[in-house]
Structure 1
Amino acid sequence: MLKDTRPYPLLLVTVLLLSFIIPTPPAKAESMSIMGSSMLTSKQMGDYVLLNNPTPKLTTVTIYQLAEIYLETGRKEGVRGDIAFAQAIHETGFFNYGGDVVPQQNNYAGIGTTGGGVKGAYFSTPEEGVRAHIQHLKAYASTEPLYTELADPRFKLVKRGIAPLWSDLNGRWAVPGRGYGEKVLEIHFDMAKITLAIPKVYLPANHKLPVAKLMIKSEVPMLAPDGSLFKMLNKDESIRVYGVLGNSYDVGGGYLIEANSSKMSAYIGRILIKDSKTVIYSPDGSVLRPVLSGEALRVYDYDEEAYQVGGGYYVSAADKPIYHLGRIQFSADTAMISPDGTVYSTLKKNTESRVYGINGNQLDLGGGYTVTYDPQQMKYVN
């Protein structure tokens, strides 16, 4: 059963120190390459859209799922998925449309439309539409082959590698297109100002335990409290996260890792599958695969309808998986306290329990029953 810790006195970690962020000037369009690694997170990207348009007109995905598809598809093709998303914002008017293209086309880049009522290309799913967009950018920016199935109907009409920079799209992607690349980068710069967020992480001010875990996809630096390089983290390493500071993850002791969606992802908990009929859905709502009873899946975000398990894939909340923040492992016999404050039972040494909520040093084990966290007698694993 989904647990909600919000009745406690809370501090949302992601409102920390917004005023401390010193944004760097936007890169000039003539010096910004279309190819490269994304820097922003899907949470930043989705939040930026919703701040400007609370009801984006999408078909079968949420704005956060769409942002994740841009990041993942961009990573596969080596294109800046976060800036491509900024271009989609520019082309669709924050996904409000209103021009020739309609939401049902899943055409986020105006591929094939020339104005005057010409609607352009139709794509069957959001994934296909994003793939076509990323591929069209790659056609302009690079001569490298595609690594994903061709979806762009105009890919072969582009002279490969003719526009490696965003400014090179001026007069090509849009006609006359004066300042087109600069407008896209301005949107990206504004989007980068959105404070890094860890979805669904609400904390009391005296919280001392990790709130998420970073999974490292590619080598990234960890910075010491004085800003110097402490060490490099390698692919497949993981590290606990205690909060955020500006656009960096706080990994404890004043050490920071700058957020970069192409090189890391942060998950906040897990779901334990109980119903043998549970499946993982693709972002377009089709079934990806069944999930075995007893299987545990990482969760990156959730709402009343679904648990996001990465890459826009999700498990329906209607299947009632058991969501938990982490586990507590006991190295000594420990008293479990009932909701009325009395001792209910003793949890034995070398056992463990799921943790559904955290309030200071009180760990919620479900149903209002708690234990008092003592690092000398127990270990918290998130």
Structure 2
Amino acid sequence: MITRRQFLKASVASCAASVIAAVSRAGERPSYQVYLPLVQTIAPPLTDTPPPPTPIPVPPEDDLPPILDNAPLVGPATGTEHMAINWFVPRADRSYTAFDIGRIVGAYRVIGEIAGIDWFLALAQMAHETGHLTSFWSLRPQRNPAGIGVTGEWRADPPPDPTGWAYNTQRQRWERGISFPTWAEHAIPAHLGRLLAYALTDEQANDAQRTLITTALAVRPLSPALRGVAPTILGLNGRWAFPGTTYGQSIVALARRMRYGPATLDLSAPAEEDGDVMPEGS
């Protein structure tokens, strides 16, 4: 027969064995497990060959007005400073540096824009008249951009009054013509103002144009009968230069070459050397 003492002793031993077993299992693995969801990326569906990138629009060659066969003298410029400088720099006399030409062309643009005249066409006239700044009258100290006052009159001996004369070192003779002390303040206003005088009457001109015309005609008067007779370049035929039957056409052709090329040098003779001269009173 089991006594009470023996029963208690057996119960305590059983509980101790259970505790020891539980502690042993806890050291082998965690009492619980955490299960995380599996996230799997989905590959995009296969497509055809990707489209090419959107092409960048190519701007038009320029937004300048066209150079018409009978181009108007008054209106927006038909070329740019860059075009004119690129044309003159390789062709001008070496005494005119690229800096000089940039200043001359820039002055044509500034004064021309104020007066509303196609200054690029005027530069083409200057290129035609001066052989691209190589003629005697275009060189310093003459600075004559368009044969202004160069009538073809000449003499071998010095004139009694040298005013309005210059000794042409290229031809070794005295020639009548107008010299200008500066390009920007004198020569270019005289050139553009004279073109405006041919293109417009006083009634047609605005204040800025009338001011430029007055400046130009103070240098060399223009017959009132010639005011406003040449709104276009062909109107200068036989008037700015004589005989000048294709004077305007030559300037238009040159303006187009200045704008579009070719890159080859154009060594045509200046107008003052090909028989065209400015008539008296014109």
TM-score, structure 2 as length reference = 0.54
State the Cα RMSD in Å.
3.0
Q: Indicate if the aligned counterparts of 1:167 and 1:180 stay in contact, CA closer than 8 A.
A: yes
Superposed CA deviations along residues 193-242 of structure 1, whole A, max 9, x for unmatched, are: 169xxxxxxxxxxxxxxxxxxxxxxxxxxxxxxxxxxxxxxxxxxxxxxx
- Superposed, 1:269-348 pairs within 5 Å as none
Greater helix share, structure number: 2
The answer to whether residue 180 in structure 2 is matched with residue 180 in structure 1 is no
Greater gyration radius? 2
Q: Distance in 2 between matches of 1:133 and 1:162?
A: 17
Moved over 6 A (4+): 22-25
| Paired position in structure 1 for 2:143 | 106
Superposed CA deviations along residues 280-334 of structure 1, whole A, max 9, x for unmatched, are: xxxxxxxxxxxxxxxxxxxxxxxxxxxxxxxxxxxxxxxxxxxxxxxxxxxxxxx
The answer to whether residue 256 in structure 2 is matched with residue 189 in structure 1 is yes
| Paired position in structure 2 for 1:129 | 187
Q: Distance in 2 between matches of 1:70 and 1:101?
A: 15
Tell me by how many angstroms 1:154 deviates: 2.1
Tell me by how many angstroms 1:50 deviates: 2.0
| Paired position in structure 2 for 1:50 | 89
Q: Distance in 2 between matches of 1:75 and 1:160?
A: 21
Superposed CA deviations along residues 229-256 of structure 1, whole A, max 9, x for unmatched, are: xxxxxxxxxxxxxxxxxxxxxxxxxxxx
| Paired position in structure 2 for 1:82 | 120
Q: Indicate if the aligned counterparts of 1:44 and 1:194 stay in contact, CA closer than 8 A.
A: no
The answer to whether residue 223 in structure 2 is matched with residue 157 in structure 1 is yes
Q: Distance in 2 between matches of 1:59 and 1:69?
A: 15
| Bigger shift: residues 105-114 or 150-159 | 150-159
Q: Distance in 1 between matches of 2:67 and 2:215?
A: 32
| Paired position in structure 2 for 1:313 | none
SS at 2:90's partner residue? Answer: helix
CA distance 1:161–1:49, change in 2 (3 Å): same
- Superposed, 1:1-382 pairs within 5 Å as 26-29=67-70, 32-53=71-92, 55-58=93-96, 62-98=100-136, 102-117=139-154, 118-127=175-184, 128-143=186-201, 144=205, 145-148=209-212, 150-152=215-217, 153-158=219-224, 159-193=226-260
| Bigger shift: residues 62-71 or 148-157 | 148-157
CA distance 1:126–1:24, change in 2 (3 Å): closer
Q: Indicate if the aligned counterparts of 1:77 and 1:147 stay in contact, CA closer than 8 A.
A: no
SS at 1:184's partner residue? Answer: helix
CA distance 1:157–1:60, change in 2 (3 Å): farther
Q: Indicate if the aligned counterparts of 2:66 and 2:78 stay in contact, CA closer than 8 A.
A: no
**Letter paired with 2:245:** R
Q: Distance in 2 between matches of 1:164 and 1:84?
A: 13
Q: Indicate if the aligned counterparts of 1:86 and 1:187 stay in contact, CA closer than 8 A.
A: yes
Tell me by how many angstroms 1:119 deviates: 3.5
Q: Distance in 1 between matches of 2:255 and 2:180?
A: 25
Q: Distance in 1 between matches of 2:251 and 2:245?
A: 12
CA distance 1:180–1:62, change in 2 (3 Å): same
Q: Distance in 1 between matches of 2:143 and 2:82?
A: 21
Unaligned runs of 5+ in 2: 1-57, 155-174, 263-282
**Letter paired with 2:69:** K
Tell me by how many angstroms 1:155 deviates: 4.0
Superposed CA deviations along residues 324-359 of structure 1, whole A, max 9, x for unmatched, are: xxxxxxxxxxxxxxxxxxxxxxxxxxxxxxxxxxxx
Q: Indicate if the aligned counterparts of 2:65 and 2:76 stay in contact, CA closer than 8 A.
A: no
Greater strand share, structure number: 1
| Paired position in structure 2 for 1:276 | none
Tell me by how many angstroms 1:181 deviates: 0.5
Q: Distance in 2 between matches of 1:59 and 1:105?
A: 17
Tell me by how many angstroms 1:73 deviates: 1.1
**Letter paired with 1:150:** T
SS at 1:110's partner residue? Answer: coil
